[in-house]
Amino acid sequence: MSFKPVILWTDALVYLLVAAVILFAWYVWRNEHLWAPWRRVGHSASGMAALTVLVFFVIIGLLDTVHLRPAVENDSGGETVYSVEVLSLFDVIATPLRTQVEKTYSAPFAAHLYARETIEHPGGGQTREFPRLKFGAAHLQNPEAQLATDIAWRAAAGGGLGLFFWCLIVASLTLLLAHRSGEAFLSMLSTIRRGATAIPWNAVCVTLALILVLCGAALTLCGSYHILGTDKVGQDVFYQSLKSIRTGLVIGTLTTLMMLPFALLLGITAGYFRGWVDDVIQYLYTTLSSIPGVLLIAAAVLMTQVYMETHPELFDTVASRADLRLLFLCIILGVTSWTGLCRLLRGETLKLREMEYIQAAHAFGVSHWRILSRHILPNVMHIVLITTVMDFSGLVLAEAVLSYVGVGVDPSTISFGTMINAARLEMARDPMVWWSLLAAFSFMFALVLSANLFADAVQNAFDPRVKTLSARVRALRRKRREEPEAKSSPTRTESSLPS
């Protein structure tokens, strides 16, 4: 199959972001003082488990980012014509999911449609019944009797396959670790199980097992069932949920990419130069932040909508139009949200510029630009990092709300927000169509929860304030564990403990 690669705007930015992350990671790896806090992140069990889930989401998101236009088969020979439909690598992999479209709603694992239809029988006469699905459970002769066993068998087979891969991965991990530490294979295995390794591999392995078993079961089932049902136009909800991941990730990450230049440049210069520069920048961010966020976003999105309606010639495909709207949303979110970080950076720079080493740099005649880039910027990076990871989950949640308000992504973009929005209209239906909502909310929950846990681990490692706080609680807990009688009466021992 021939195809033509397409790079949409957000794709290009995502590639840029990936390249930046890889470069940054390489740089951090080379410098021990930068690597040390990341090692602390690696010691947090919940953080590493969350990272495992996040990596899984990111892989799906990246697969969904590589876009292409497949060639349309034409008999006339000549030059190949490319379809106007823009597909992603993920779409190609999930072709069965994408193309097995039913007529309308069907419940998860159902063999029949959700609505009654009039069916003409070949022998004459008609009845109103639930027609069989075209693809869901189509291989079964008698779904009522066979459905449960078939599902169980397939799920077990898929889960088993997942478990098999998990065993392979764990075995190779143990081999690697055993080779490195010089321990025997089995003793290494039990070390991992006890969680005695520096990086809590046991948490990672448990999470991985969960993901792989679920994935295996889902993969074997989704070929012949709609495991999360279908939506109003008969599209598979599982496919939609997986597609939504990219939208969420793009909004969560690109927004940060958009806001960083503003926040860094303005925040640091305001704190460093002070005087009128500081006044102007302070005025700018006070003004921007005094407009309630949602309203500013709504106003800006409304205006881009008008702009896009009146300039239709700018977009050649539906996908590029939807993509541009996604990009605009990221830009708008970025422009409206840099003020918080800017304020933090200004405060930190104000503190830093009075430090001796900056004074010394001044005395040596180091230029302003060099002081800013070599001495101040590296020392505020922890704030940037913490804010970035903390904001991510909020942005994913905000997307759903904004789509509900009507100022989110393009209606043709599959996202958690559009899924919820479409499903919400069916709330009043009896019996209720619940699977779209549940699918969107649970995928969103998994993504946001893992992002939150990872953000906590990062904050614990980088933020000196939180670090001391959690160290204190940990010390208290250790002390508790050492004094078993303490558990029975926390109040009494508490008062005797120095904090």
Partner 1 sequence: MLNYIIRRVLYAIPILIGVNLITFTLFFVVNTPDDMARMQLGIKRVTPEAIAKWKQERGYDKPLMFNSGDEGFTKLTNTIFFEKSAAMFAFRFGRADDGRDIAYEIKSRMVPSLAIALPVFLLGLGVYIVFALIMVFFRATYVDFWGVVLCVALMSISSLFYIIAGQFLISKLWHLVPISGYGQELDAAKFLVLPVIIGVISGAGANTRWYRTLFLEEMGKDYVRTARAKGLPESAVLFGHVLRNAMIPILTGAVVVIPLLFLGSLIAESFFGIPGLGSYTIDAINSQDFAVVRAMVFLGSLLYIVGLILTDISYTLVDPRIRLE
Q: What is the Cβ-side half-sphere exposure of residue 246, based on CA atoms within 13 angstroms?
A: 25
Shortest Å, Cβ 18 to partner 1: 25
307 binds partner 1 (CB under 8 A): yes
- State the nearest-atom distance from the C-beta of 339 to partner 1, in Å: 12
Q: Is 138 in the site for partner 1 (CB under 8 A)?
A: no
CA quadruple 47, 52, 56, 61: dihedral sign: positive
Q: DSSP states of 257-325 as a string?
A: HHHHHHHHHHHHHHHHH-HHHHHHHHHHHHHHHHS-HHHHHHHHHHHHHHHHHH-GGG-SSHHHHHHHH
Site for partner 1, residues 11 to 50, rule: CB under 8 A:
none
Given the complex with partner 1, which of 185 and 445 has the nearer CB atom? 445
Q: Does 498 engage in binding with partner 1 (CB under 8 A)? A: yes
Task: Determine if 456 is a binding residue for partner 1 (CB under 8 A).
Answer: yes
Q: Which of 16, 306, 360, 425 binds partner 1 (CB under 8 A)?
A: 306
Query: Which position among 115, 152, 401, 425 is part of the footprint of partner 1 (CB under 8 A)?
Result: 401
Stretch that binds partner 1, among 51-59, 211-219, 361-369, 443-451 (CB under 8 A): 443-451
| 378 forms part of the interface with partner 1 (CB under 8 A) | no
Work out whether 386 is an interface residue with partner 1 (CB under 8 A).
no
Residue range at the interface with partner 1 (CB under 8 A); choices 160-168, 215-223, 237-245, 438-446: 438-446
Q: Which stretch binds partner 1 (CB under 8 A): 184-192, 321-329, 358-366, 476-484?
A: 476-484
Query: Among 246, 444, 235, which Cα is nearest to 326's?
Result: 246
Number of residues that bind partner 1 (CB under 8 A): 62
Which residues have CB under 8 Å from 281's CB, separation 6+? 266, 267, 269, 270, 342, 346
Please report whether residue 488 would count as binding partner 1 according to CB under 8 A: no
CA 363, chain centre distance (Å): 47
Beta-sheet strands, E only, within 73-184: 81-82, 87-88, 117-120, 126-129
Minimum distance of partner 1 from residue 457's CB (angstroms)? 12
Nearest to 132 by CA among 147, 118, 111: 111
For residue 112, the 8-state DSSP code is B
Least CB distance to partner 1 at residue 117 (A): 27
Nearest to 232, CA basis, from 403, 437, 443:
437
Q: Does 432 bind partner 1 (CB under 8 A)?
A: yes
3-state DSSP call for residue 445?
Answer: helix
**The dihedral sign for the CA sequence 342, 347, 350, 353:** negative
User: If binding is defined by CB under 8 A, does position 400 make contact with partner 1?
Assistant: yes
- Cα 381 to chain centroid distance, Å, stands at 22
Figure out which of the listed residues 227, 266, 376, 420 binds partner 1, where binding follows CB under 8 A: 420
Measured CA distances, 338 to 85, 228, 288, 331 (Å):
36, 38, 9, 11
Chain positions contacting partner 1, by CB under 8 A: 283-284, 286-292, 294-296, 298-300, 302-307, 309-310, 393, 397, 400-401, 404-407, 416, 420, 424, 427, 432, 437, 441, 444-445, 448-449, 452-453, 456, 465-466, 468-469, 472-474, 476-477, 480, 487, 490-491, 494-495, 498-499
